[in-house]
Structure 1
Amino acid sequence: MNPVHVESGSGVLAVHWEDGSDSAFTHAQLRAACPCSECRAIRRAGGIVSAAAGVRLSAIEPAGANALNLAFSDGHARGIYPFALLAELVRQPACAAPAR
């Protein structure tokens, strides 16, 4: 499941999927859902990965053929977001942590 086109603007990452559907994620939602080992450890310990409402994507780079490496304005740049994770986030719109 690879997106045809990814665009980022106005604090929203839009993903246009091959099946013709579209998804939109706020940058804060994506930061709060970061799948890096540090953020996963926080969640496993019962913590919440929070993201300021004003956090923005500072870079979007392909990570192989099936993922994106997202870097954020808060300096966090270790999250590899597989397209399967993005598709899962679509089904869990409440995944974003409250803003700091």
Structure 2
Amino acid sequence: MHHDAPQAIVDHRRGGVLEITWPDGRVQRLRHGLLRARCRCAACERQRRQGLGDAPADASVRLTHLAPVGAQGLNLQFSDGHDRGIYPWAYLRQLGGL
């Protein structure tokens, strides 16, 4: 699995897709709803451990803000108010296989 930072990140907000281009040329298109559902913040992980599963992959949820977290990944904030998710590059690559 590659851990390199992407070459390009484009948020297609209207369409609800985050497009990531990796150094090896692979282009991923991750739905905002999927990103929200697969958040790994402490609250979302606790919900999973309690057997409540992922947050619903709501197609109406949109990214409202994304910011780099050092050289490791992105912090994503969503229209439902959720703003604690840090997504390492390796995890984003993994999500692209779903």
Question: Same fold per TM (> 0.5)?
Answer: yes
Deviations 1:34-79 (A, max 9, x none): 0100001111111122242100000010011121000000000000
Is the aligned partner of 1:13 residue 2:18? yes
- Conserved? CA contact 2:16–2:59, under 8 Å: no
After TM superposition, what 4+ stretches of structure 1 lie above 6 angstroms from structure 2?
A: none
Aligned residues: 92
Alignment of 1:35-46 (within 5 A): 35-46=40-51
Q: Residue 37 of structure 2 corresponds to which residue in structure 1?
A: 32
SS in 1 for 2:36: helix
Q: Residue 52 of structure 1 corresponds to which residue in structure 2?
A: 58
CA RMSD of aligned residues (A): 0.9
User: 5+ unaligned residues in a row in structure 1: which ranges?
Assistant: 94-100
SS in 2 for 1:3: coil
- Conserved? CA contact 2:33–2:59, under 8 Å: yes
> Structure 2 vs 1, CA of residues 29 and 41 (structure 1 numbering), >3 Å: closer, same or farther?
same
User: 5+ unaligned residues in a row in structure 2: which ranges?
Assistant: none
Give the TM-score of the pair, scaled to structure 2: 0.89
Identity %: 45
Q: Distance in 2 between matches of 1:13 and 1:65?
A: 18
Tell me which protein shows more helix as a share of its residues.
1
Q: Distance in 2 between matches of 1:45 and 1:82?
A: 24
